[in-house]
Amino acid sequence: MLRAAGSSGVSAGASGASAAGAAAASETPEHKTGTPQQNSGTPNPTSGDHAQSAGARDRGAASARESTGSSADDADATPRRRDRRVDETAAAAETARARRHSSRVGEAFPSLVGWTSLSTLLPGIGLLRTRFRPLGFILLGGFVLTFVIALLYVLIKGPVRAFGTVVSSPSLLTFLAIALAVIGVIWILVIVVSHFGLRRGHRYASWQNKMAGVLVVSLALIIGIPFGVGSVYAQVQGDTVSSLFGDSTGHAQSAEDLWADKPYINVFLMGRDNGDDREGTRPDTMLVASIDTKTGNAALISVPRNLAFPIFPEGSELDKRWPDGFRPTGQSSVDLINSVWQWGAQNEDAIGDPHGLEPGMFATMQAVEGSLGLNLDYWASVDMAGFEDVVDAIGGVKIDVERPIPMGGGKSMSGVSNEVYGWVDPGPQTLKGKDALWYVRSREGSDNYDRMCRQQRMIKTTLDQIDPRELATAYPKLANSATKNIATSIPQNEVPAFIELALAMQKGEITTVQINNDVTPTYNPDFDKLHEWIEGEVKGASDGGETAKPTNDASAESSTDSAAAEEEPADEAAGEQPADEGGQESTEPTKPGEPNAQGKCYPKGYEPGDDFPGYPGPGAGDEE
């Protein structure tokens, strides 16, 4: 209680002192002005003691006030500093937010467009500026890693072989089809999520919102269409490879490895006609492509349909059956190489093991091998409907038709004349599928050599005009047609090697070779001479040099078989007259089956500009 009372007393004293000091401080100058005696320098002890006492009290009061004010200031300083730091942090956050987000309507629209569009090129990059930043890093990293792996695969294997390996493997193509579909969907979702994430915190004008919607839809289509088409094409290619090519016989190899010990490969190409007006199958076109595996140079050898008494490989079952050549009737006008198919189909037991082939195909290939002296390594057959599809797929073939070409005509297997129901008009034009087909197959008013010449001309012209873009557009249709109309012995694992070889052939030279009566009489062939001549042709084509000269002159032997002459009256040398530089017709005849100086093909006895029997005139076209 004493301490309390003392404290109270001190406080009261301090308060009193403070009040006194305040009163003294508030006195006016008049109150402070004393008498002259008081203002003189004579000391006044009483006044001095009082002054000292008052000064002491004033200093004490001031000290007390300072002490009290300091304590109050210290107590208020911490909340003020804390509030100041909070305000500074809020201001900094607001400044940063102002930098990230637009404060005006539409201010961030260019940035929105730019980053959304960039997400189309680099998936995930737009997410890096949203709250999905970690996901953006994952997607962007996965995209870059996939691209690097694919690039390394192409660089290690080479572009051609890498492409060939993928397009020839049904399992890889199925995986690729699924992967493309999944990646396309994910990519589109990333674009959409990136766009809405980038919009967060911004305000846009109405027209900007509409433009943003159009942008997102457009970018989704830019990604979705290629990936969707790629997925469909991969699946179509996988199904085509499975259906068209034979089973794999090993690992995929390059052309250099696969044919390391083979300077040439011989591929038998046959056009077959299974039309409704045909009984059974007869080869309509037969060619052998002898290809140099190193240079891509090739000899395209046309086998005449009327080659009589064909022979078979020595020691084969058919050779034992026909040691003197194929002679079921002994007539050169009947026992032709294109009749072997039908005979083989009707006498399966006589041909031996066909090795999985149709009996007719096997017997025909045996006849071609024995007659030409070439071993056939591969074969491919094309139905005429497939040829039409290819020509239509490339938009037609531009060609200068040399003369009127009848549609129909010729004779049936029973010897009955077929009706001519239409015409391919002469002159420069673009032939669509059906007209192009009749251009290469028409026999009415023609001969076999003229027909073979037109076939080779069409093949070369078509190859020169093929546009990869048009083929790509029509590929699903072509693939569907191929599975129905094309058959081949090429196994799946060798397709990459053939792709490499095809590219080499585009850079190489293709030499057309005709077997005609200048080589050996087709109605009574000397096969030893034919073998020698074929070997020279193949060697000359491989070296890129001039082809070998015929080893036999048919002029001295043209009358030795009157029956053959009556059946095949146009098998002699054709009388085409190529024009010289001045536009005049040359008197030098071309060889049978060879084009003239303008690259055109004419049958025996027909001169350019002559009237063609039965042709009703320009514009007749197809009357069907």
How confident is residue 553, by pLDDT bands cut at 50, 70 and 90?
very low
Q: What pLDDT, on a 0 to 100 scale, did the predictor assign at position 371?
A: 95
How confident is residue 510, by pLDDT bands cut at 50, 70 and 90?
confident
Q: What pLDDT, on a 0 to 100 scale, did the predictor assign at position 546?
A: 44
Q: What pLDDT, on a 0 to 100 scale, did the predictor assign at position 310?
A: 95
Average confidence (pLDDT) over 256-272 = 89
Cα–Cα dist 548/299, whole Å: 12
How confident is residue 540, by pLDDT bands cut at 50, 70 and 90?
confident
Task: Indicate if the pLDDT at residue 71 is higher than 80.
Answer: no
Average confidence (pLDDT) over 598-618 = 85
* pLDDT, greater one: 29 or 596: 596
Average confidence (pLDDT) over 526-531 = 94
* pLDDT, greater one: 543 or 558: 543
**For the segment 168-222, what is each residue's pLDDT rounded down to a tens digit?**
889 999 999 999 999 999 999 999 999 999 988 888 899 999 999 999 999 999 9
Select from 375, 378, 396, 379 the least CA-distant residue to 387: 396
How confident is residue 559, by pLDDT bands cut at 50, 70 and 90?
very low
Q: What pLDDT, on a 0 to 100 scale, did the predictor assign at position 282?
A: 66
Q: What pLDDT, on a 0 to 100 scale, did the predictor assign at position 365?
A: 94
Task: Indicate if the pLDDT at residue 145 is higher than 50.
Answer: yes
The 3-class secondary structure across 24-90, one letter per residue, is: HHHCCHHHHCCCHHHHCCCCCHHHHHHHHHHHHHHHHHHHHHHHHHHHHHHHHHHHHHHHHHHHHHH
Q: What pLDDT, on a 0 to 100 scale, did the predictor assign at position 565?
A: 35
Residue 292 backbone dihedrals phi, psi, to 5 degrees? -75, 120
How many angstroms from the chain centroid is the CA of residue 618?
A: 42
**For the segment 435-482, what is each residue's pLDDT rounded down to a tens digit?**
998 998 888 888 888 888 888 888 878 877 777 677 777 777 778 777
Instruction: Specify whether the CB–CB gap between 368 and 527 falls below 8 A.
Output: no
Give the pair of three-digit tokens for residue 213.
Answer: 């919607």
Q: What pLDDT, on a 0 to 100 scale, did the predictor assign at position 182?
A: 95
Task: Indicate if the pLDDT at residue 248 is higher than 90.
Answer: no
Query: What is the torsional sign of CA 105, 109, 115, 119?
Result: positive
**For the segment 269-289, what is each residue's pLDDT rounded down to a tens digit?**
988 765 545 555 667 788 899
Q: What pLDDT, on a 0 to 100 scale, did the predictor assign at position 590?
A: 55
Select from 533, 512, 535, 527 the least CA-distant residue to 592: 512
Give the pair of three-digit tokens for residue 362.
Answer: 């096997």
**How many other C-beta atoms can be found within 10 angstroms of the C-beta atom of residue 234?**
22
Cα–Cα dist 212/470, whole Å: 35
Select from 337, 254, 265 the least CA-distant residue to 299: 265
Cα–Cα dist 113/216, whole Å: 9
Pairing of strands 378-383, 486-488: antiparallel
Q: What pLDDT, on a 0 to 100 scale, did the predictor assign at position 36?
A: 40
Q: What pLDDT, on a 0 to 100 scale, did the predictor assign at position 468?
A: 67
How confident is residue 333, by pLDDT bands cut at 50, 70 and 90?
confident
**For the segment 576-605, what is each residue's pLDDT rounded down to a tens digit?**
333 333 333 443 445 656 777 778 888 888
Task: Indicate if the pLDDT at residue 372 is higher than 80.
Answer: yes
User: Which residue type occupies 369?
Assistant: E
Can you spell out the DSSP letters for 280-328? S-EEEEEEEEEEETTT--EEEEEPPTT-BS----TTSHHHHH-TT---S
Task: Indicate if the pLDDT at residue 81 is higher than 70.
Answer: no
Average confidence (pLDDT) over 536-558 = 53
Query: What is the torsional sign of CA 357, 361, 366, 369?
Result: negative
Task: Indicate if the pLDDT at residue 85 is higher than 80.
Answer: no
Task: Indicate if the pLDDT at residue 504 is higher than 60.
Answer: yes
**For the segment 102-132, what is each residue's pLDDT rounded down to a tens digit?**
446 767 889 899 999 999 999 999 999 899 9
Q: What pLDDT, on a 0 to 100 scale, did the predictor assign at position 526?
A: 94
Query: What is the torsional sign of CA 445, 450, 455, 457?
Result: negative
Select from 347, 291, 336 the least CA-distant residue to 497: 291
**For the segment 403-424, what is each residue's pLDDT rounded down to a tens digit?**
999 998 877 656 677 888 899 9
User: Which residue type occupies 237?
Assistant: Q
Which alpha helices (DSSP H) does 424-494 contain, by range?
433-441, 448-465, 468-473, 475-485
Looking from the CA of 18 toward its CB, the CA atoms found within 13 Å total: 12
Cα–Cα dist 428/265, whole Å: 36
Task: Indicate if the pLDDT at residue 9 is higher than 70.
Answer: no
